[in-house]
């Protein structure tokens, strides 16, 4: 089974420093949904791993999060794409959980659920936390410049050899043709 793990905010949908709190605020990045459909057509199952500390901070509740994801699934279906599951860390940094990226807990949940070795599993993210979590879990990490990605690219502590692409569509072109993945 071939799996790809995607961050959500700043990779699939536009990010906001004020958090994405409602389905109305959940707006796909141009081309991202079609890119997920192309992954599916290339034989990949796609899951999302996302920090949503806005839940723990009380900025929105589970029903709002479910409504955002229902919107995402509907929008994906309209272009022939599918996300199998969304793995969420709902905690704030203060809660010292093991699932909030940069810790690899969400990735470990994914590996267990799908019974896979993450060594050849690509992970696409826009923040340094995503890359750190992916590296800790043993994934092949990929950075996109959307969301926080342009700022992340300028950091001097990017994991060595991290491929960087303008957006998810360009990252998918790489993933779908890279025989190692």
Q: Taking Cα atoms as reference points, which of 112, 114, 124 lies closest to residue 152? A: 124
CB of 99 to Zn ion, least distance (A): 3
Is 108 a residue that touches Mg ion (CB under 5 A)? no
- As a whole number of Å, the end-to-end CA separation of the chain is 11
Cβ(7)–Cβ(126) below 8 Å: yes
Question: Site for Zn ion (CB under 5 A): which residue of 85, 97, 116, 176?
Answer: 97
Question: Which of 47, 167, 36, 164 lies closest to 106, judged by CA?
Answer: 47
How many residues touch Mg ion under the rule CB under 5 A: the total is 6
Annotation says 17 is catalytic: no
Catalytic residue among 9, 15, 126, 130: 9
Residue 134 host element (H or E): helix 128-137
- The item of Mg ion, Zn ion, none sharing an interface with residue 100, based on CB under 5 to 8 Å by kind, is Zn ion
Partner from Mg ion, Zn ion, none binding residue 108, C-beta < 5-8 Å depending on class = none
Q: Is 101 in the site for Zn ion (CB under 5 A)?
A: no
Establish if 86 lies at the interface with Mg ion (CB under 5 A): no
The count of residues interacting with Zn ion (CB under 5 A) is 5
- Rule CB under 5 A: say whether 123 interacts with Zn ion: no
Q: CA 109 to CA 104: how far, in whole Å?
A: 9
Does the protein bind Mg ion through residue 134 (CB under 5 A)? no
Contact 111, 119 (CB under 8 A): no
Catalytic sites, residue numbers: 7, 9
């Amino acid at each position: 089974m071939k799996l790809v793990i995607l961050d959500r905010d700043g990779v699939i949908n536009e990010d906001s420093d004020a958090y994405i709190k409602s389905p109305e605020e959940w707006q796909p990045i141009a081309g991202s949904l079609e890119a997920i459909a192309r992954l599916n057509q290339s034989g990949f199952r796609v899951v999302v791993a996302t920090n949503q500390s806005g839940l723990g901070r009380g900025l929105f509740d589970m029903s709002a999060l479910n409504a955002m994801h229902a919107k995402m699934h509907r929008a994906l279906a309209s272009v022939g794409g599918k996300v199998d599951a969304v793995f969420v860390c709902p905690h704030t940094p203060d809660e010292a959980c093991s699932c909030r990226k940069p810790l690899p807990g969400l990735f470990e949940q994914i590996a267990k659920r799908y019974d896979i070795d993450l060594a050849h599993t690509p992970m696409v993210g826009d923040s340094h936390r995503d890359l750190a979590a992916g590296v800790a879990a043993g994934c092949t990490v990929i950075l996109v410049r959307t969301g926080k990605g342009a700022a992340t690219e300028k950091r001097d502590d990017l994991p060595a050899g991290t491929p960087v692409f303008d957006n998810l569509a360009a990252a998918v072109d790489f993933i779908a043709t890279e025989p190692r993945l």
